[in-house]
């Protein structure tokens, strides 16, 4: 279970680096003023907005993944099924990230989002069943 957990952390830091790169490039190119980032008010290019929103999104549902993974580790619930669900979640989130930060195809993004959330829900059901 630790490897999917670590990969999710790496994905989060990779998106943070991408966000920084995107923001710096937007300021350097003159697409956005540096002062925009003080309160995030005004106009910003779509790629800056998408990267910002995606980074924020990584602190929503993935938080439930982190909690489930830590609970599974602490409760010694590391079955192949649960680890498989964790990998499905992480891979679907990585696919979601690539889609959101490139083509931003909403149908593809929604599919990846639903797959990740379904895997996470089943993880919590398995963990809950064990403790129930």
pLDDT of residue 37: 87
Task: Say what percent of the chain tops pLDDT 90.
Answer: 89
User: Phi/psi at 104 (nearest 5 deg)?
Assistant: 55, 40
pLDDT of residue 35: 87
pTM for this entry: 0.93
CA distance 112 to 94: 9
pLDDT of residue 38: 85
pLDDT of residue 29: 95
Tens-place pLDDT, residues 69-81 = 999 999 999 899 9
Token output for 75: 């409760």
Low-confidence ranges of the chain (pLDDT < 50): none
Residues 6 or more apart whose CB falls under 8 angstroms from that of 7 comprise: 90, 94
pLDDT of residue 57: 95
Task: Say what percent of the chain tops pLDDT 70.
Answer: 100
Token output for 10: 């790496």
CA distance 59 to 54: 9
Tokens 């982190």, residue located: 66
């Amino acid at each position: 279970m630790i490897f999917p957990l670590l990969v999710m952390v790496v994905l989060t830091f990779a998106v943070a680096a991408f966000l920084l790169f995107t923001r710096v490039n937007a300021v350097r190119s003159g697409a956005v003023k540096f002062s925009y980032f003080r309160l995030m008010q005004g106009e910003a290019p779509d790629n800056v907005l998408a990267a910002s929103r995606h980074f924020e999104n990584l602190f929503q549902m993935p938080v439930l993944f982190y909690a489930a993974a830590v609970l599974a580790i602490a409760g010694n619930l590391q079955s192949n099924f649960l680890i498989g669900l964790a990998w499905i979640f992480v891979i679907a989130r990585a696919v979601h990230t690539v889609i959101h930060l490139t083509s931003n195809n909403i149908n593809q993004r929604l599919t990846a989002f639903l797959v990740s959330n379904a895997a996470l829900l089943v993880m919590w059901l398995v963990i809950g069943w064990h403790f129930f």
